[in-house]
Each structure stands twice: as structure tokens, then as C-alpha cells.
A and B are shown apart, each in its own frame.
Chain A
Amino acid sequence: MSRKLLISCEEATSICNKNQYGEASTWDKIRLGLHSLGCVHCKTYSTQNNILTKLMGNHSNSCSNSGHLTDEDKLDLKKTLNEKIKKVN
């Protein structure tokens, strides 16, 4: 890990992204905080990134992936698998 205190915007946004998952180190957070003091763009980015995280939190409550196998799907699977089983035997 880099020891330098001053980081670029690209590094700052990277740390900010990690931080959304609680996976930024203390050292990284210090550097991000310091960077954001002097950088309005990264500060804006951080605020919006937090909003994105909140939105995704709601998202996970409201969305349940693309459903489950329908009966039709299963018939389909069964038909083709049975053909293969016959071939094997």
C-alpha cells in the first residue's frame, strides 16, 4: 500500500468506493478526508456515492432477481435431459 499522504482524485474516488462497503483502511480514510477538504469535485462525488449506496439498499429490498424456474422451464429441462439419459443408457 502506498504511504503517501496526498492522493489524486482517482485514488480518492477509489477509496470512497471501497468505503461504501466498509472496506477502506483507517489510513485510506484519513487520506480521503484530507483530499476532500481541498477538492470540491471529490466531495461531490462522495456525497453522490453515498446516495447511490442508499438507493441500492432500497433496491435490494424491492427486487427479487429474475424469478424462478417456471413449470414450463422444468418441462423443457426434463425433455432434453431425458433424451440425453436415453442416449447414455
Chain B
Amino acid sequence: MSNDKKHTLDPNKWIALYADYLFNYAIIRVDDHDLAKDLVQETFYSGLKGMANFRGQASERTWLISILKRKIIDHYRKINSIKGKKEIRVNFYADGDNKGSWIEERVPATWGDNAEQKIENEELKITLDDCIENLVEKYRIVFLLKTVQNYETEEICNELDITASNLWVIIHRARQQLRRCLEDNWFKK
């Protein structure tokens, strides 16, 4: 019976069989080639060390992915605990009568009447890429997963071990920052 079939591990074939798969899984979630490669490397190491714990119930690939998932969460925790090196500027009054209102010098400026028509532009795309690049790492990852990879909120929360309200705060700040960055570097010029 196929149910009785125990899966086995063969580390000599790991690179050939799973390196690309694991790498693709990681790169989407960390958006950095070298980091993704390191995570794959660490996954193989941990796999080797933990071979005795493999009970053969899951396939080799599933087992390796579960290790990689933990590595990604660990990485994410690490960057989460390092205070963002880049300053996050506040756009709204935090208290007082004006609590929650725009701070005057942070108010969005208009982008001109035909801003919408101007968006099919290669240079603008480059500017946007630069702006995304400048986001703090954890904002960048969450924003890209949600906006480009179209992940469900719940999926991101599970994978990165954050709450939904965390996620929306991050999205909120990322979008505010991107809006501002496009304004300063593109629409004002």
C-alpha cells in the first residue's frame, strides 16, 4: 500500500532536486538574491543536522520547505527587532486637538491634473523602484507580498508571524512613504 511507503532523505540529491524550488520560495518572501541563497543553504544544514528527526511521513520536499519557513520567520523576527535605521516620518498629529489630522508640512501636494496620464513612463517606474528599495526591509517585504504577489492577508500573517493589524499598519506606512517619495522625486520635478 502506498500509504505505508515511508519517505527517505538523500542529502546528496538535495541541491539538484530542491535548490531551485527552495530558492524561488525564499526570494518571493525576502526579495534579496543573496539572502535567499543563504536561507536555502541554512535550510540544507539544518536538514542535515535534523535528519534523525525525520519520520518519513512527509515528502522530503515538504520537510525541507517547513525548515525554510522557520528560517524565514526567524529572519523576519530579527529584522523586526532591529529598530528601523531609516527614520519613519510621521504624517499626522499624535495628540492634542488635531490628533489624527495631517501635519501641515506633510500634507499631500497635488500632482497636476494629468498625473494619471503620465504614469505610463519608464523613468517613473525606475523612480518607483528606487522608492521601494528605500523602504525599511520589513515594510518592503510586506508591501511587495501584498501588492505584487497578491498574497492573502492571512497568509502573510501566518508566514511572517505578525497580526493583521500589524500588517495594515505596515502597509499604511509603506504607502504613505511611497506616495511622499514619488511626490518628492518625480511629480514635483
Contacts and interface: CB of A to CB of B under 8 A. Distances in A.
Interface of A: 7-11, 13-14, 17-18, 20-21, 23, 41-42, 44-45, 47-49, 51-56, 58-60, 62-63, 65-69, 73-74, 76-78, 80-81, 84-85, 88
Contacts of A47: 111, 115
Contacts of B139: none
Contacts of A7: 100
Contacts of B51: 88
A84 B48 contact: yes
B54 interface: no
Q: Is the interface of B mostly helix, strand, loop or mixed?
A: helix
Given A60-B148, A77-B44, A66 B15 contact: no
The bracket for how many chain B residues form the interface is: 35 or more
Contact of A9 (B37, B44, B49, B100): B100
Contacts of A88: 48-49, 51
Contact of B148 (A11, A13, A49, A63): A63
Contacts of A56: 128, 147-148
A51 B36 CA distance: 31
Top-6 shortest CB links A-B:
A8-B100, A10-B92, A66-B33, A10-B100, A60-B148, A44-B108
Interface string B103-128: 00001111100011001100011001
Given A8-B92, A9-B102, A41-B102, A85 B11 contact: yes
A67 B33 contact: yes
A74 B17 CA distance: 11
29 contacts: A8-B99, A8-B101, A9-B101, A13-B176, A18-B171, A20-B175, A21-B171, A41-B102, A41-B107, A45-B108, A48-B182, A49-B175, A52-B175, A55-B119, A56-B128, A58-B120, A59-B125, A59-B129, A60-B149, A66-B36, A68-B23, A68-B27, A69-B20, A69-B40, A74-B15, A76-B37, A81-B14, A81-B15, A88-B51
A46 to B, nearest CB: 10
State the majority secondary structure of interface residues on A: helix
A60 B125 CA distance: 11
A85 B107 CA distance: 59
